[in-house]
Amino acid sequence: SVYQNSDDWSEHIRVLRILTEMFLPHINLSELEQTFFSKVLPKAMQLFDDLLYELSSQAKGLTSQNAELCKAVRNVLQTMVQLLEILTACVRHICTLQESVPLESIRSLPFSILYVVKTTFMHCKDSESLYSGCLHLISDLLQALFKETYSLQKQLMELLDMISVGSASAEENVADMVSVIHTVLEICAVISNMDHALHANTWKFIIKQSLKHQPLLQSHLKHKDILCGLCKDTLFSFHSCVQLAEQMKLSGMQVTIDQKLFQKTVKLCRFFANSLVHYTKEFIPFLSDCASQLHQLYLQIYSKFPPSLYAPVIFEAHQDEMSRVFLVALDPLIHQLLPFKPFLEQVLSEKLDLSPELHLPQCRLLITIMDKLPSQPEDVQALWTTGSQSSEESPRLSLFSALFLGFQQCSGELSFPVCVPGDMANGQTVTLYHYVCVQLCAFIASTPPACFPPLERALLGAVLGSSMITSLLAMDAWCFLARYGTADLCAHHASVIAHVIKASPGECHQLSALGVLLRRMLFLMAPEHQVEFTQKFPPEEAENLSLWQHISLKALPPELREEVARQLCAAGLSQCRQRLGGRGGPRGNPPNTALSALLAGCSSAGDSLEAGLRAAVLAAAGQLWARLQAKQVSSQPCLQQTLGLLLPLLEFFIQTLDPQLIVQVFAMQASLLELDPPDHVRLAMLDLLSSMGKLFIPQEIQGQVLPKLACLFASLLADKTWLIFQHALEAFTQFAEATRHEDAVPLCLNSEETKNKVVCFLAK
């Protein structure tokens, strides 16, 4: 009657206080909902809404000059504080009744209290913008309001810990408990940056209640909302840590207040990491639509740690503390996610479109997975290493292919290049390339045989790919596999690569990469397998010359090496003669493959090559040289390649060159240099020039040769391309130190600038 006949808020508060203090204690628990809460709480909520509306309306006009309005606003805030005090006392009383409280006995209470808590926290959070520049006029009451709301939430959580959900009306109870948890989750979003302790305790409640009633609630909870909230708050806390560490680094000192706040925030990060691990462990079957959030969580975190180019510059001690406290706590989550197929499909997706700052974190995540995968059952390892097996599955790469792709995308870090910190690389600071290579090889060593086919496919795909450094990584890993595996496996791989090379059409970068790999493989093969290789791909057969041009004969035992070198020279010579017998000589279709074989054979055989064969090779080289013309060489890449093979071949025979051939060689080079040939032709010229110190040029041709030699050196020493210039310095040094034609040396240095550069180089 008093309530209905009064519009005064203070009178309503008085009535509510009487009801809760004098009536409530005398009502049985079983009758509370029907007799008290269902009748009183709706009116209390209406009072709360009226007070809040009044506050929002009056806050807009609040100024320090308007004392009357300021007093009115303060009165409303005081009334709200009193309302919260009464509600807190009400909840506290129920907590004293018994150890377990049936949910149906207090059904209206949690929802009413949570509504008040959430709305009040939102008001406090928005107070700065709501009250504009007049916050100082009411800050004491706002603090009291926050404190009382904090107390009310804490008291409600104590009560909800006592709640028993199981009863005859279980379905309704389950729905209510689920609603309570989701509402508390909404409160978490509001208070995320207001109070660390409150935030952590609210999350503790959500996880504790979810686990306490797990059998009843697990199929009803919105797990994605909970997990996304956890991930979001984990990242928020982590970024707060990073920002604090950056501020301390910029200020140049570790301010005590900032340091304490940093340590508190790191501990909060650890709390969220532990919560994430705990929640995921219990509810992972229900998290199939959360894989993307978990993936992004790791990527975002790794992007802020070295060696990422996007990592902030902070004190090493702060970085170590974040790693030791936070990353270590988060580490078990990877173990839990390895058997989780949705996560696997997300990480290995063929359609993964990441921004540049997340390329290295993706690579690091894959390395972390490789590090942990060997402890998993073979079926889990197979899932990660085989890729998608049917069109019904989501398209995904194998772990090997994903790593090569991820590594290739780290172009910025590889070009810089960044170094991996010691805590990631067993105490050593190494390059990113070194780190990835070692980790990949370690994983290959633990890979079960069933996973070899996708490994081999990934290795071959990377070797043939467009990225040179990724191709090199695949070669290094493949050579490790050849050494770590059986001799038969090494021989088999070498044979497969050789067949691929033979089947390759024309010149291409893929063929060059395969050639480098085969050259390295042959060094790793057992002697008996090397013999079998020469029998399978006989060097005397013309069709195999394209293969043998890629192989270093130094890999073979001495006796086998001499035999192969002799066969290569004979086969190459035969091919050159056939080509020279046709019209146009090398201009139509130059015998470059045969020349490559001759060069390999002569370089390997050395002085042991038979005199007759040496003479025949030199004669063929002379005939080929006589048919070359500078203009044609400058315009035709295939003839440039011919020249690039003939020059080192002549270098091999430098002591026995015919004087007339020497004149032709220098005339051609001088003419060609005037036509601005490509860099690889200039480099081939320099290789020959460097060996000219070994040769005494006959008196009768010195006038034709030495001026051209000096002109070549002078031009190449003035080259603007750093690589050509460096090789020119080295070649000139070798020539100057060995030549008997001392008069030619100063002629090569035709300017003071060139002379100074050479002197600086000689002086180291």
In this predicted model, what pLDDT tens digit does every residue of 210-258 receive, in sequence order?
Answer: 999 999 999 999 999 999 999 999 999 999 999 999 999 888 765 667 8
Most confident range, picked from 382-386, 424-428, 613-617? 382-386
pLDDT tens for 491-549 read: 999 999 999 999 987 778 899 999 999 999 999 999 999 999 999 999 999 999 989 98
Q: How far apart are CA 388 and CA 722, in angstroms?
A: 47
pLDDT, residue 62, reads 79
Coil, strand or helix: which one is 419?
A: strand
pLDDT, residue 124, reads 92
3-state secondary structure 20-43: HHHHHHHCCHHHHHHHHHHHHHHH
pLDDT, residue 584, reads 45
pLDDT, residue 115, reads 97
The band of 6, judged by pLDDT with boundaries at 50, 70 and 90, is low
pLDDT at 262 over 60: yes
pLDDT, residue 130, reads 85
What is the amino acid identity at position 740?
Answer: R
What helix, strand, coil percent values describe the chain, rounded to 5?
Answer: 75, 0, 20
pLDDT, residue 5, reads 66
pLDDT at 169 over 70: no
CB–CB of 109/41 below 8 Å?
yes
pLDDT at 588 over 70: no
| DSSP per position, 302-364 | HTTSTT-TTS----HHHHHHIIIIIIHHHHHHHHHHTT-HHHHHHHTBTT----GGGHHHHHH
Mean of pLDDT values over 710-734: 96
The band of 26, judged by pLDDT with boundaries at 50, 70 and 90, is very high
Spacing of C-alpha 441 from chain mean position: 17
Q: How far apart are CA 283 and CA 6, in angstroms?
A: 52
pLDDT tens for 110-139 read: 999 999 999 999 999 988 888 877 888 888
CB–CB of 344/384 below 8 Å?
yes
Please name every residue paired with 164 in a beta bridge, in sequence order, or none if there are none.
Answer: 102
3-state secondary structure 200-217: HHHHHHHHHHHHHCHHHH
Integer CA distances (angstroms), 41 to 109, 148, 291, in order: 7, 18, 42
Q: Tell me which long-range contacts 687-691 makes (C-beta under 8 A, separation of at least 24).
A: 687/647, 687/648, 687/651, 687/731, 688/647, 688/648, 688/650, 688/651, 689/713, 689/716, 689/731, 689/732, 689/735, 690/730, 690/731, 690/732, 690/734, 690/735, 691/651, 691/654, 691/734
Residues of the chain above pLDDT 70, percent: 97
Provide the H-helix boundaries in 553-636: 558-581, 592-605, 611-626, 630-635
3-state secondary structure 84-137: HHHHHHHHHHHHCCCCCEEHHHCCHHHHHHHHHHHHHHHHHHCHHHHCHHHHHH
The band of 168, judged by pLDDT with boundaries at 50, 70 and 90, is very low
pLDDT at 167 over 60: no
Which helix (H) or strand (E) segment holds residue 221: the answer is none
The domain limits of the chain are 1-209, 664-764
Which residues make Cβ contacts (< 8 Å) with residue 528, sequence separation at least 6? Answer: none
Q: Which of 87-91, 392-396, 515-519 has the lowest mean pLDDT?
A: 392-396
Q: If phi over 0 gives left and psi between -120 and 50 gives alpha, with beta otherwise, what is residue 582? A: beta
pLDDT, residue 590, reads 80
pLDDT, residue 110, reads 96
Please name every residue paired with 419 in a beta bridge, in sequence order, or none if there are none.
Answer: 431
pLDDT at 102 over 60: yes
pLDDT, residue 58, reads 85
Integer CA distances (angstroms), 254 to 238, 251, 636, in order: 19, 8, 66
Integer CA distances (angstroms), 454 to 263, 388, 400, 402, 487, in order: 45, 11, 8, 11, 20
pLDDT at 392 over 90: no
Q: Which of 96-100, 155-159, 172-176 has the lowest mean pLDDT?
A: 96-100
pLDDT tens for 363-389 read: 999 999 999 999 999 999 999 999 887
CB–CB of 188/229 below 8 Å?
yes
pLDDT, residue 585, reads 46
The mean pLDDT value of the chain amounts to 91
